[in-house]
Amino acid sequence: MQNSSLACIVSVMNYLKKTDPQIYTLIKQEEKRQRDALEMIPSENYTSRAVMEALGSVLTNKYSEGFPGRRYYQGNAVIDSVEMLCQERAKKLFGVPYVNVQALSGSPANSAVYLAVLENGEKLMGLSLAYGGHITHGHKLGLSGRLFTFAHYTLDEKTEMLDYDEIERQVRKEKPKLLICGFTAYPRKIDFKHFAQIAETVDAYLMADISHITGLIIAGVHPSPVEYAHIITTTTHKTLRGPRGALIMVTEKGLKKNPDLPKRIETAIIPGLQGGPHDNQTAAIAVALKEASTAAFKKYGEQIVKNAKALAMELLNYDFDLVSGGTDNHLILIDLRNKKVNGRVAAIALEAAGIVLNYNGVPEDTMPPLYASGIRLGTPAITTRGMKEGEMKMIAKWINTAIEEVKGWDLPRDDKEKRGALMKEYRARIAANKELDAIASEIKLFCAKFPVP
Ligand SMILES: Cc1ncc(COP(=O)(O)O)c(C=O)c1O
């Protein structure tokens, strides 16, 4: 099956090879990179060939501004069926009465919600970016921060987890109209019921942005916000394993609070933010939703968490300082300050060793975001390749060896010039590092045993 689907992809690429060999070659290089290394960025995954076929289909040719049954263009009978099928699958899978499938990605989906429920200048509140929130949850440079007022809650300094009493205190003080929960770099479970109780104290809308944990919720290994939130947004390309894209859902509770929410969200999408939806993407999301409704996907979600927990245990054994002490979900945030290695420095060394992840801020980080003190890694993509707990042991060992190799490479916070010079020297040394090269070769052989879908 693997071979026949690969053969199909190769034949499709034959047109590209002839028309544009440069792009063809670059895609081939990227395919190889994705195959030969451990993809451990927690927001990334390998989507299925079926999803990619839908994404590369003739649906990309169509314009369909509007919604099923009320389009501004002719010729949309098939597109209407595709969009309605996608909506129905999402409604059934999540158990919600309304789904919008047109937002082009997670950030525009969040923006659409803000346009739908907030007037200019009204207040939203989410977890601070510096503590694991997303840039679209109220950052001064983003749309959410420029059109609206925002406030942030943070994490408890000691536990590095959400402190619900403190969040309630801040919410009562700030009185946001929209409270956001759901995060980008938070390794623990989210208590949606508690968030709902807090939102109710100020009569705020509760929006759950479940982009990172959608697949875990579908698999039943993370609680669902459906009973508690008014609005739910999610990307479709992370743990869900779909194409890049997003869903905006309104729950029964949301409809009760404001029956106009679906209409307001549609108006926010068009004419608010977008023109025509990407119908090929809608079809590919529908395929991913079908795949996610199987028993195999439930097992997959369970294995993602088992793998993350196993990896966390191993990393603790190597004296890595894990933010919050471990993980309940698919991701791990490592504070590298005890190892005297800067996060960006570590991420570069790990990439040279064949382990791809991202540098990330950690709670109370004093370093600027481009030179953050931690790294963030996750198990969705390697679990897609079939890796299990035994493999996590080996990965932890490789991570430890690579970090030991660059131990002591810390960077100054304020001296930009010195930092730049150190980075230059560091990159040159990494390029010539035999130990990291040897790990990369081992990982390449190891990866060959776990085929990319
Ligand atoms: C919680 C959360 N919301 C929204 C987004 C934005 O998604 P996109 O990159 O598709 O705009 C992300 C992306 O990482 C995310 O982690």
Residue ranges covered by each domain of the chain: 59-292, 297-447
Say whether pLDDT at 10 is over 50. no
pLDDT (0 to 100) of residue 12: 67
How many helices (DSSP H) and strands (DSSP E) are in the chain?
18, 15
Say whether pLDDT at 214 is over 50. yes
Q: Looking at this protein, which amino acid is placed at residue 282?
A: T
Closest C-alpha to ligand 1, atom 9: 106
Contact (Cβ atoms closer than 8 angstroms) between residue 208 and residue 178 = no
Say whether pLDDT at 7 is over 60. no
Q: Which residue has the tokens 């894209």?
A: 245
Question: What is the distance in A from the centroid of ligand 1 to the CA of 240?
Answer: 13
Q: Is 349 exposed, middle or buried (0-12, 13-18, 19+ CB in 10 A)?
A: buried
Closest C-alpha to ligand 1, atom 6: 106
For the segment 301-329, the average pLDDT, to the nearest whole number, is: 98
pLDDT digits (tens, 9 = 90+) for 364-375: 999 999 999 999
For the segment 245-255, the average pLDDT, to the nearest whole number, is: 98
For the segment 411-418, the average pLDDT, to the nearest whole number, is: 90
Question: What is the distance in A from the centroid of ligand 1 to the CA of 214?
Answer: 12
For the segment 87-94, the average pLDDT, to the nearest whole number, is: 98
Say whether pLDDT at 11 is over 70. no
Q: Looking at this protein, which amino acid is placed at residue 72?
A: Y
For the segment 384-405, the average pLDDT, to the nearest whole number, is: 98
Q: What is the enclosing helix (H) or strand (E) of 168? A: helix 164-174
Question: What is the distance in A from the centroid of ligand 1 to the CA of 449?
Answer: 31
Q: Provide the pairing of β-strand 123-127 with 178-181.
A: parallel
Contact (Cβ atoms closer than 8 angstroms) between residue 280 and residue 358 = no
Question: Hey, which residues are catalytic here?
Answer: 63, 65, 209, 235, 238, 244
Q: Which residues contact 103 (CB under 8 A, 6 or more apart)?
A: 109, 112, 233, 245, 246, 247, 248, 269, 273, 274
User: How far apart are the C-alpha atoms of 291 and 353, rounded to whole Å?
Assistant: 33
- What token pair was written down for 375? 């790294």
Burial track 409-418 (b if 16+ CB lie within 10 A, e otherwise): bbbeeeeeee
Q: In whole numbers, what is the pLDDT of the chain averaged over residues?
A: 95
Say whether pLDDT at 407 is over 50. yes
User: How far apart are the C-alpha atoms of 160 and 182, rounded to whole Å?
Assistant: 16
Sheet strands (E) in 231-360: 231-235, 246-250, 321-322, 331-335, 355-356, 358-360
**What is the topology classification, in CATH, of domain 297-447?**
Aspartate Aminotransferase, domain 1 (3.90.1150)
Who lines ligand 1 at CB under 6 A?
A: 43, 105-107, 110, 134, 136, 182-184, 209, 211-212, 235
| pLDDT > 70: percent of the chain | 97
Q: Which atom of ligand 1 is nearest to the CA of 244?
A: 10
Q: Provide the pairing of β-strand 358-360 with 374-378.
A: antiparallel
Res. 4 pLDDT band, cuts 50 70 90: very low
Of the candidates 164, 290, 293, 127, the residue with the CA atom closest to the CA atom of residue 217: 293
Contact (Cβ atoms closer than 8 angstroms) between residue 144 and residue 111 = yes
Q: Which CATH architecture has domain 59-292?
A: 3-Layer(aba) Sandwich (3.40)
Q: Which residues contact 235 (CB under 8 A, 6 or more apart)?
A: 43, 105, 106, 109, 211, 214, 244, 245, 246
Say whether pLDDT at 386 is over 70. yes
pTM for the predicted model, two decimal places:
0.96
For the segment 258-275, the average pLDDT, to the nearest whole number, is: 97
Say whether pLDDT at 172 is over 50. yes
Cα dihedral: 114, 87, 239, 453 (round 10): -140
Say whether pLDDT at 385 is over 60. yes
